[in-house]
Structure 1
């Protein structure tokens, strides 16, 4: 991290959060717009295409989520060494993280290509939807290295507070994706295959640009060549200590989402899955500011932890929790009033127009869970997604026989009920346990 960013975090963590969060927010908007553009063009193909892509979203989220979790561990580890002013381990952290992402790419690509078809069949989809799923999934998962290494490089950039270069690279990629999507999908008549090809090509472009700045021009870590690669178990452990729990948390969330899609299919049909999928995409757009603040918090906290600055950790946590809670309230009000208008973002085709009132209802119920995005922890993720959410969705949807409405209400009730307990525990940990751990680090 630059001396300017390190000094700002040390002197004024709240101001640092504000300054770092804005470019990260813009970056997340661009990333999300990739999905928005794909969703808009795919919705014009057929309902089977919407269902197929929607069914694979949880699987693709596992891929990007696990790599994103390790990327967050990379940010935390490198940020720690930057805060401790340890140049050698900072560079070795970058090199060891690169090695981890190479191994991760090999493993993840093989796994997802093997399970793709059985996974689609397990959802009891129509034959057309399964074919569309294969057309979309094979190129996407076959070229997973582009998405996995994106997460790794982003983690390295975030650690040093550098956000402008990722913005440039992703901005170019987004514009190119918006132009290539309709060409591949409609002009070349490739359908969902075209959407997948466009996503892979534009993601690859971003990796090439950012990798060039990072590893060849060395504009982020100028002393990159000063230390040769050495497999360091201590650095690997520091990366994975954060990365593995983060990856497992995201994995659990996605697995739970897959089960919810299965519940939705049982309670409804392919159209119900399309409603659930498109509604969740719109919902995730509204969560971008909250996700951006959480990513910023990791940067500030990891740097402060390396510098043994307990007060900055405490201030940063409370500050971000207050802001995210306010964003949750604003999102709730926006959706309650403008749900039909938000639904039109995707459903611009005549064939899909009938889904608007149903997606509006889904959004109005599900938006309340936005208040639970203050922070992540493994135990609360498991409790929220697998204990409370699945219990309430199954109970209300099937035991109480409320159908789709019961499933959507169950999502809200399960996630919201865990939020209070989650925040109380985090607040207790920071005020009573963290200071002891910082002392032990000395």
Structure 2
């Protein structure tokens, strides 16, 4: 097997060192990816205006559906592949990879056809007003034409991490982010293409890194083999990938529904201005919480491999460390947002109304952010273990079960402020659900297998977290 050490070290290297080596590259990659989204919004805000930001925000649910498909294929495939590698079933892992590539091609064709047929009606359905509809179309159309590059790069990023090659996975996020930052001002300002220029810059960036990723798999640097006869849909494999990836898809799809609900209520109880401000706050959320997602992504291949190898002690230690790190991160974010929210808003706009209003909304939305770490780690844990039921419940809970109903109900009593108030309430309810599931399933993590014993102190510490 090529690059055997990449996957072998998931079962042998000390957990703190291993988690750092896998999480830090993922964190850096996620941070840079979030940074280019921030830069995108800054250029659009200063170059076109708050209405353009509102247009992009309104179109974002479509982007989230694209990411949902990629997440389902990537995270589901990564979980299956990491467990196959842990079980020493390399040929099966290659077949999983081939199935994912075949599905990626089919999904891309469907997306491109949709760009020419149903894009404008869908945007109108999402609540696009005449003021922002043109901006939304200008941004979304080029993105849908390049859907293959997005789906391919996002899905393979998770797969690359599943074989333990976190550094290259990080590069696949950094390369398009840096290219996008370089190309944005050229297309938006230099060629005077506005929002459409931002979208084209993003597509070209993703296309460039797709070539790099393809070379990685074809050059023999991966633990996986990319053979032509593997690129076909294997239904039993696809069923397993979908079962594990469904929570990730559901989470992103629920996020898309959440965005539609939020935009609709902001327009109903506010106006286009509030949609634009929310678009800025969305970028701040991504930027501040992406590092936590990096920790979860670094944790998953370790959990999946050791679960496949039945090494429960290493699995338990990985989860405990992941929880502590993510909780610490969210506490820091909470303190910063509460203390200096205007600093974050000033990055995106010099309009004092945007800064003042946005600072108030930002404080409300982040008032329970310190609870999110437990949700993220527990959801990632169940995905890596191949426990789709629990993962699906956790993936849907915050957005679909709690946030969307709150967003639709609270504005009727609190006006536009009800939209922002829905976020901390949903965070609290989702935290309670995650803790309940972890406690209920604690025997999974503390069951003695293959002589991997645990001590009572470790168990008490984990349950306390």
Provide TM-score, normalisation by structure 1. Answer: 0.90
In the alignment, the residues of structure 1 paired with residue 179 and residue 95 of structure 2 have an alpha-carbon distance, to the nearest angstrom, of 34
1:362 correspondence with 2:361: yes
Partner of 2:191: 188
Aligned to 1:303: 305
What residue in structure 2 maps to residue 20 of structure 1? 22
Residue of structure 1 aligned with 2:430, choices 395, 402, 418: 418
Aligned to 2:186, the other structure's residue is in SS state helix
CA–CA distance in structure 1, aligned partners of residues 256 and 446 of structure 2: 30
> Between Structure 1 and Structure 2, how many residues are aligned?
432
What stretches of structure 2 of length at least 5 have no aligned partner?
380-390, 451-465
* 1:341-420 mapped onto 2 (5 Å cutoff): 341-348=343-350, 352-367=351-366, 368-372=368-372, 373-376=376-379, 377-398=391-412, 400=413, 402-420=414-432
| 2:137 alignment partner in structure 1 | 134
Q: Is the 8 A contact 2:10 2:302 kept in 1?
A: no
Distance 1:325 1:433, change over 3 A: closer
| CA 1:230–1:143: 2 relative to 1, 3 Å | closer
2-structure distance, mates of 1:413, 1:113: 40
Change over 3 Å in CA distance of 1:39–1:230 after alignment to 2: closer
1:71 match:
74
Give, in angstroms, the shift of residue 435 of structure 1: 5.3
**1:353-375 C-alpha deviation (Å, 9 max, x unpaired):** 42001111121111223522333
**For the aligned residues, what is the CA RMSD?**
2.5
Distance 1:43 1:369, change over 3 A: same
State the distance in 2 between where 1:172 and 1:353 align.
35
Partner Cα distance (1:285, 1:193) in 2: 23
- Is the Cα–Cα contact under 8 Å of residues 136 and 195 in structure 1 kept in the other structure? yes
Structure 1, unpaired ranges of 5+: none
8 Å contact 2:250–2:392 — kept in the other structure? yes
Deviations 1:284-330 (A, max 9, x none): 21101211111122211111122122222222222212221221111
Bigger drift between 10-19 and 42-51 goes to 10-19
- SS of 2:377's partner is coil
- Whole-Å separation in 1 of the counterparts to 2:159 and 2:402: 35
Q: Is the 8 A contact 1:5 1:16 kept in 2?
A: no
TM-score for the superposition, normalised by structure 2: 0.86
How far did residue 249 of structure 1 move? 2.1
CA contact (8 A) 2:84 2:93 kept: yes
Summarize the alignment of residues 83-94 of structure 1 with structure 2, pairs less than 5 Å apart.
83-94=86-97
Any conservation in 1 of the 2:312–2:448 contact (CA below 8 Å)? no
